[in-house]
Structure 1
Amino acid sequence: MTLTERQKMQAGDWYCCQDSELDVLRHRARVAVHQHNTAPPDPAAQLSPPLAGLFAAHGENCLVEAPFHCAYGLNITLGRNVYLNAGCTILDTAPVTIGDGTMLGPNVQIYCAQHHKDRDLRVQGLEIARPVTLGAEVWIGGGAILMPGVTIGNGAIVGAGAVVTRDVPAGGTVAGNPARPLTG
């Protein structure tokens, strides 16, 4: 049995991102994101209906400020009381799980796709998807970038502008590029 590119992506195998089925799913996400980003503000609203229908799952009292961007949406799971500030981007080629009470500052970027290092294969659109997981009550500072495959433990803090290339333990604080633990 031959796997589709979407099945390969979901299995964490190398896949071609230049695939018609994946194009359709990305278009679906762009439509929902556009609807979310152009909706009038509603102070009583939580997660907008377009995003609620797009995401894999979400808890109560989630708020995603506009503008927002995601690649597929269907790989994003939000816990309860999650807050994403304006300008967040989630390239969810793999599962992105954001735990209860977690807050992302403005312009946080979460990347799951890693493109092939071999130029010839990269030009063919080959990439591999690695999940990103944020525990409960995590705080991600504005402009931080979370790279493919990282896990941020419960209660951890990522400083503004940090580039996180490795896991952050529960309760840890990291900052810088690449992000390093802060002590004291």
Structure 2
Amino acid sequence: MTEKEKMLSGELYLANDKELSEIRKNMLSKLHTYNHADYNDYKLRDKLIKEILGGHKTNLKITAPVFFDYGINTYVGKNFYANFNCIFLDVSTITIGDNVMFGPRVGLYTATHPIDSEVRSSGLEYGLPITIGNNVWIGGDATINPGITIGDNTIIGSGSVVIKDIPSNCIAAGNPCKVIRKINDSDKSYWQAKHKSYFDNL
């Protein structure tokens, strides 16, 4: 297996591999241009971010600055929005569903290191994938650790540190992040009643 194949399969690999270094170098050049482009140059920014990502759907908006390890290992669904200073350490795959929003400084870290100090000091590392479902909102400064899955329709509170999977249809927060409560029908009816004229026109 190549170092890239090892990396994507969750095996120990060397990040300073020539192929991997070249991928990062090309991505970082595009990312630098993206992060420093005129805010009103929508065409250039749209072109660059779509080249950086591994896959995307419609209505993509990632506010600069943003940071990736590889870019090509991150896949986002339709109507994706990320606020300022989000970090995607995508040595393994990051898969994000439709209608997902990130607050500022959200970090998704697939990268991790061996517990044994001798192995860790050798430069070997590995990654575990992160999967985020549809209709998820992640608050600012939240940290999503390697190997995590977050279910559909879930809200992650700002500043949370997610170290275990979070199920669908809930509000979760804290360090470590824990489920606070389920989202229920009264949540939906409250907001629809409060803004009835808006929902009537949808």
Q: TM-score w.r.t. structure 2 length?
A: 0.86
The share of aligned pairs that are identical, in percent, is: 37
Q: Cα deviations across residues 155-177 of structure 1 (Å, max 9, x unaligned)?
A: 10100000001111111211111
Tell me: CA distance 1:45–1:142, structure 2 relative to 1, closer, same or farther (3 Å): farther
Secondary structure at the aligned position of 1:128 is classed as strand
1:181 to 175, 179, 182: 179
Q: 1:112–1:148: 8 Å Cα contact kept in structure 2?
A: yes
Q: TM-score w.r.t. structure 1 length?
A: 0.94
Task: State how far apart, in whole Å, the 1-side matches of 2:153 and 2:45 are.
Answer: 23
Task: State how far apart, in whole Å, the 2-side matches of 1:44 and 1:36 are.
Answer: 10
1:14-93 equivalences in 2 (<5 Å): 14-42=12-40, 48-93=46-91
- Counterpart residue type for residue 61 of structure 1: N
Higher helix share: 2
Specify the alignment match of 2:196 in structure 1.
none
Task: State how far apart, in whole Å, the 1-side matches of 2:45 and 2:59 are.
Answer: 7
1:129 to 127, 130, 133: 127
Tell me: CA distance 1:159–1:48, structure 2 relative to 1, closer, same or farther (3 Å): same
Q: 1:165–1:179: 8 Å Cα contact kept in structure 2?
A: yes
Task: State how far apart, in whole Å, the 1-side matches of 2:99 and 2:41 are.
Answer: 19
Is 1:168 matched with 2:177? no
Let me know the Cα RMSD of the aligned residues. 1.6
Specify the alignment match of 2:142 in structure 1.
144
Q: Cα deviations across residues 97-123 of structure 1 (Å, max 9, x unaligned)?
A: 111110000000000011111111111
Task: State how far apart, in whole Å, the 2-side matches of 1:45 and 1:161 are.
Answer: 33
1:98-113 equivalences in 2 (<5 Å): 98-113=96-111
- Counterpart residue type for residue 58 of structure 1: H
Compare CA radii of gyration and give the structure with the larger one.
2
Q: 1:85–1:105: 8 Å Cα contact kept in structure 2?
A: yes
Unaligned runs of 5+ in 1: none
Q: 1:46–1:62: 8 Å Cα contact kept in structure 2?
A: no
Secondary structure at the aligned position of 2:88 is classed as strand
Tell me: CA distance 1:16–1:177, structure 2 relative to 1, closer, same or farther (3 Å): same
In the alignment of these two chains, the number of paired residues is: 182
Q: 2:157–2:173: 8 Å Cα contact kept in structure 1?
A: yes
**Deviation of residue 18 (structure 1)?**
2.4
Q: 2:34–2:45: 8 Å Cα contact kept in structure 1?
A: no
Q: Which has the higher contact order (CA 8 A, sep 6+)?
A: 1
Unaligned runs of 5+ in 2: 183-202
